[in-house]
Amino acid sequence: MDNCYAIEVKNISKHFKIYADKSTTAKEKILFRKRNRYEKKQVLNDISFTIRKGESVGLIGHNGCGKSTTLKILTRIMYPDSGTVTIHGRVSSLLELGAGFHPDMTGVENIYINASIFGLGKKEIDSKLKDIIEFAELGEYINNPVRTYSSGMYMRLAFAVAINVNADILLIDEVLAVGDVNFQAKCINKLMEMKRTGITIVLVSHSTDQIEAICDRSIWIHDGKIQADGPCRDTHRLYLRYMGEKRADSKGDEEKSEVQENQTVPDDQATVSIQTEGEKAVQKILQDRGDDVRYKDRMRGNGDAKILYINSYDSEGNIRNVFESGESVTFRIKYKLYKKTSEAFLGLCIFRNDGFRCYGTNTKIDNLKMELTEENGEFSIEFPNMELLQGKYYVDVCIASREDDMLDYLDGVNAFEIYNTTGEIGLCRIPYSWDIEHAR
């Protein structure tokens, strides 16, 4: 092995057997042979890469692509079916929360157990015990059984041990997502410090921002193969574009089917499509909007008009909820009128998912006045270049006859995502230009 490399992975493959109903005893295996049927799932397929000493590398990819399996092979928790892995130096790993901890032992006792797994002797652990306890910030809980710990406390203790074993290589799998913001910042600062001392770091994370803050390079694993390997921003640009297009395709299919349902509902049983932001992806909720039905906490108005649904479209007229920053986004709103209005105003406001108001406008601001006379109507607003940066957003819409006379106002009736592949950060893209001719 070349001495400049800390890790060398060559042509490794790994598969798992997925049993439908696995027998657990010899008797069951004989009597119920069909239970032993299984399918092979290829998790890693002939991947190769090298990591230099002192280099920090991130592993990214969708769930189930093989990131964590790769890390477990590097830690020798599991072994590949084929190929070779060569490691040069002491390895410290932080994989699953609580791995190696005994639930009935105290935090201090588990420090000794966990550190000994990494190869430290008792004297060496004694000399580091104070530093580990101080970094974990567990206070009096350090003498309590770890079964009483929260997931954040588990992470504090495990991370504190992992960074204090004088390892040459540190392997981390997603656990930095656990814990409060202040401790996460503390962990990242510590990793940056370790990086400066020449420790090799391999980090698995779904947070590209986190990887860019720590790592020099990213490896994108896709369905068991390496899809891209290079500088973080270059690799992340490809990955984010792929994930954005994938989400757009899947959500676009859902939107189309739901809109078709909306269009088949009779006028006297009008249906509103409300999109909410939940733990799952953006989804639509169909809610009856008859004369006596109000959508609680999401509707304000006198009922002279009712917004039926709002959808977002790309430049080609396709219904989508995921866009790349800078794309054209059009919001189209359909409404039902119960009372003619001689002077109406239409409004729309975009909020970030944390409630921050990003942008709002209405036809009154633009000196556009209209008369609403038709029972059913539709209006739209187009943003030719939606310059919001990566994040999740939602939309409020309203119809008013005067500033203080609201016909209908719906909160959060459309949710959409923006993904950004340029590396810019913040809320939105602001036009600018550089002058470097006179730079010295």
CA–CA separation, 73 and 81 (whole Å)? 10
Span 377-421, pLDDT tens digits: 889 999 999 999 988 899 999 888 865 578 888 888 788 888 887
Residues 307 and 348: beta-carbon distance below 8 Å: no
Residue length of the chain: 440
Least confident of 146-155, 163-172, 219-228, 297-306: 297-306
Cα separation, 398 vs 101, whole angstroms = 55
Q: Which of 192, 194, 225, 219 is nearest to 205 (CA)?
A: 219
What pLDDT is attached to residue 22? Answer: 61
Percent of the chain residues topping a pLDDT of 90: 25
Label residue 279 by pLDDT band (50, 70, 90): very low
Weakest-pLDDT range from 192-206, 273-287, 407-421: 273-287
Task: Give residue 249's pLDDT band: very low, low, confident or very high (50, 70, 90).
Answer: low
What is the pLDDT at residue 10? 95
pLDDT of 258 > 90? The answer is no
Q: With bands split at pLDDT 50, 70 and 90, how would you rate the model's confidence at 50?
A: very high
Which of the four pLDDT bands, split at 50, 70 and 90, describes residue 159? confident
**Burial class of residue 389, CB neighbours in 10 A (0-12, 13-18, 19+):** middle
Question: Which residue segments constitute the domains of the chain, with CATH numbers given?
Answer: 5-241 (3.40.50.300), 249-419 (2.70.50.60)
Q: Which of 201, 12, 7, 199 is nearest to 86 (CA)?
A: 7
Beta bridge partners of 47: 12
pLDDT tens across 104-148, in order? 899 999 899 888 888 888 888 899 899 999 988 888 899 999 889
| Region of poorest pLDDT, from 105-114, 211-220, 241-250, 405-414 | 241-250
pLDDT given for residue 289 in this prediction: 38
List the alpha helices (DSSP H) in 137-217.
151-162, 181-196, 208-214
Residue 36 has pLDDT above 70, yes or no: no
- Give the model confidence (pLDDT) of 318-361 as tens digits: 888 889 899 999 999 998 888 888 888 899 999 988 788 899 99
Mean pLDDT calculated for residue range 3-7: 88
Tell me the residue ranges of DSSP E strands in 289-425: 299-300, 305-313, 322-324, 329-337, 341-352, 357-362, 370-372, 376-383, 391-402, 405-419
Task: Check residues 180 and 343 and name the one with the higher pLDDT.
Answer: 343
pLDDT band per the 50, 70, 90 thresholds, residue 284: very low
Query: What pLDDT is recorded for position 280?
Result: 32
356 or 18, greater pLDDT? 356
Mean of per-residue pLDDT scores for the chain:
79
Whether 91 and 74 have beta carbons less than 8 Å apart is answered as yes
What average pLDDT score do residues 370-383 get? 86
Question: pTM for the full model?
Answer: 0.61
pLDDT at res. 84: 94
Whether 48 shows a pLDDT value over 90: the answer reads: yes
pLDDT of 9 strictly over 70: yes
At which residue do the structure tokens 């954040």 appear?
152
